[in-house]
Structure 1
């Protein structure tokens, strides 16, 4: 379950589609093929952005947009419903070269929240916008509005009903269900990290949050340093039970271990996922990461994580379960 790719690329993209995977027994061959096709398309979009002269930010946005547009992942279309039966989405992005970042939380009518997060980073004086204010800013940027109903799927409606039934119809109180009771309801998120030809790193993450989450709940995804981090040293995008990622500032913890202890990227991600996070709550998350030397890490302490990477040869590598990709 380490999920490490143990590869090195000159430039490229690594992605995740969340640790909330279906078990092999529940995954039909057709559905598995659909997930793998979406992951490959995401990698190809990120790779294409780099091939066309784009930078790492362009690559992570392109990769995440594909996953947001797919109904299979808990981000954009296919996002989870909150306890009211409303879909609210969060996203963030960070550029490693200068530490610039942008984030949005609680948006309901923006097709690609990651694009809005990028606009916050590049076209506002702020780092995070939320709710109606974020939606208003999206309109000033000419971003494509969509009816909130477009994001919903039958699968997510069923997951909401199950989440409410487990609580006897009560509003969500954090911690009233075991973290492993339904990992697909808590851990779905998508993200990407990229290294471009100039050596710049970037990371982006997007989510619909927990199934049946409390109205107004925000997890780690839009929190810089918790769900997303990028610096000249490394880029990290996380997936899992967000409250614990926030407590541990988990994405930044990878950077901190590398900077303060001299740990390699591989050593750092294993320490934060298998030691720090697992000690707080077992089987609860994962991440994808890249360092400035092109080392790729896809690490998780759960049964699986939708994931993949692509290097300079343009060949996408994707996986769901097992020990990792190669």
Structure 2
């Protein structure tokens, strides 16, 4: 009996050593400094298929993603802060009609544009966000200003606009956000819904494929600067045909955006209601902090397991304190790009 006990004890010791060895190896791998600075972006996720994309449109998206990320990369390369890199990178996408943010924002049911954005500083864990903004040219700049120049984290609607004016941010006529493409998308959705309701169809197509693609055009960026500080930001026009002042995950810290120098920075894009319920961005950081998971392990679990099981769709871009990067999404595609301190550029659209 004593001999059997000694054999069992030895076996348990061997298993324990093996697990500790594997854990240490994983920790050593994840703690290797891969980049002194890095940047990663997304321009939305959804049913993005090669067969539905013209060569001209694909080239336009890739060119704008490259332009945006190079702006942020240059700031980081020259010793600038991750905050500045995230803001300027997102502003390039906000000023493009290609993405569902800023100039390219989708329309609400009332045929207006309501913009949301958020930002978080991984060093201080301070954050700022805005929701339902209608006349501020750069929602991401306003979100950062809320963080730096107020005692609050989130401002909404008219109050956010008043704050923007007081802080000297650029105010535009709401018509600035009008694009024919987005307006026609709204009309198609309204007409389809009306037709279905006229036929007593109880399954109104509020979440049909067209709507899903339009609402997944959110833009986001995560950057790591030379000082080791991580920042993350997200900006969006929300969901086509949204009503009643609907707010998604983009302006919610922990859902659409999260940054912590101890772990990582995350920006989300997808079906916001699910990202809010699962606290996607924070969950990734928490798994790294409390379960010692690598960035890739955490993003994969949250997106491919937790989010998918609930029925949520979308993805994230994430960057950890050592420059490791992750593009994780459960849709057919996601507009995305990354650059490291060696200047290696990756620009992709479709799932591989």
Q: 1:11/1:108 Cα in 2 relative to 1: closer, same or farther (>3 Å)?
A: same
Deviations 1:129-159 (A, max 9, x none): 1011000111111111111111121110111
> How far apart in 2 are the matches of 1:174 and 1:47?
46
Runs of 4+ residues over 4 Å off in structure 1: 173-176, 178-182
1:90 aligns with 2:116: yes
Deviations 1:170-189 (A, max 9, x none): 99x99964465643123220
Deviations 1:13-68 (A, max 9, x none): 10000003542222111111110111001101111221333111111111100010
Tell me how far 1:321 sits from its aligned partner: 0.3
User: What is residue 327 of structure 2 aligned with on the other side?
Assistant: 298
Tell me how far 1:167 sits from its aligned partner: 2.2
> How far apart in 1 are the matches of 2:229 and 2:169?
26
Tell whether the 8 Å contact from 2:48 to 2:332 is kept in structure 1 after alignment: no
> How far apart in 1 are the matches of 2:86 and 2:204?
32
Tell whether the 8 Å contact from 2:222 to 2:267 is kept in structure 1 after alignment: yes
User: What is residue 255 of structure 1 aligned with on the other side?
Assistant: 285
Tell me how far 1:312 sits from its aligned partner: 1.1
Tell whether the 8 Å contact from 2:193 to 2:204 is kept in structure 1 after alignment: no
Tell whether the 8 Å contact from 1:229 to 1:251 is kept in structure 2 after alignment: yes
TM-score normalised by length of structure 2: 0.85
Greater RCO structure (CA 8 Å; 6+ sep): 1
Determine helix, strand or coil for the equivalent of 1:277: helix
Q: 1:43/1:299 Cα in 2 relative to 1: closer, same or farther (>3 Å)?
A: same
User: What is residue 206 of structure 1 aligned with on the other side?
Assistant: 235
Q: How does 1:81-230 map to 2 (within 5 A)?
A: 81-168=107-194, 177-178=206-207, 180=209, 182-230=211-259
Tell whether the 8 Å contact from 1:194 to 1:201 is kept in structure 2 after alignment: yes
Deviations 1:261-297 (A, max 9, x none): 1111100000000001101115x10000000111000
User: What is residue 77 of structure 1 aligned with on the other side?
Assistant: 103
1:66 aligns with 2:92: yes
> How far apart in 2 are the matches of 1:86 and 1:302?
28
Tell whether the 8 Å contact from 1:19 to 1:183 is kept in structure 2 after alignment: no
143-152 or 76-85: bigger deviation: 143-152
Q: Which residue, 287, 295, 306 being the options, matches 1:276?
A: 306
Q: Which residue, 271, 281, 295 being the options, matches 1:241?
A: 271
> How far apart in 2 are the matches of 1:92 and 1:302?
23
Q: Which runs of 5+ in 2 are unaligned?
A: 1-32
> How far apart in 2 are the matches of 1:8 and 1:23?
32
> How far apart in 2 are the matches of 1:130 and 1:138?
11
Determine helix, strand or coil for the equivalent of 2:76: helix
Tell me how far 1:9 sits from its aligned partner: 3.0
Q: 1:138/1:94 Cα in 2 relative to 1: closer, same or farther (>3 Å)?
A: same
Deviations 1:205-246 (A, max 9, x none): 000000011130000000000000000110000000000000
Determine helix, strand or coil for the equivalent of 2:46: coil
Q: Which runs of 5+ in 1 are unaligned?
A: 1-6
User: What is residue 289 of structure 1 aligned with on the other side?
Assistant: 318
Q: Considering only CA atoms, is the larger Rg found in Structure 1 or Structure 2?
A: 2
TM-score normalised by length of structure 1: 0.92
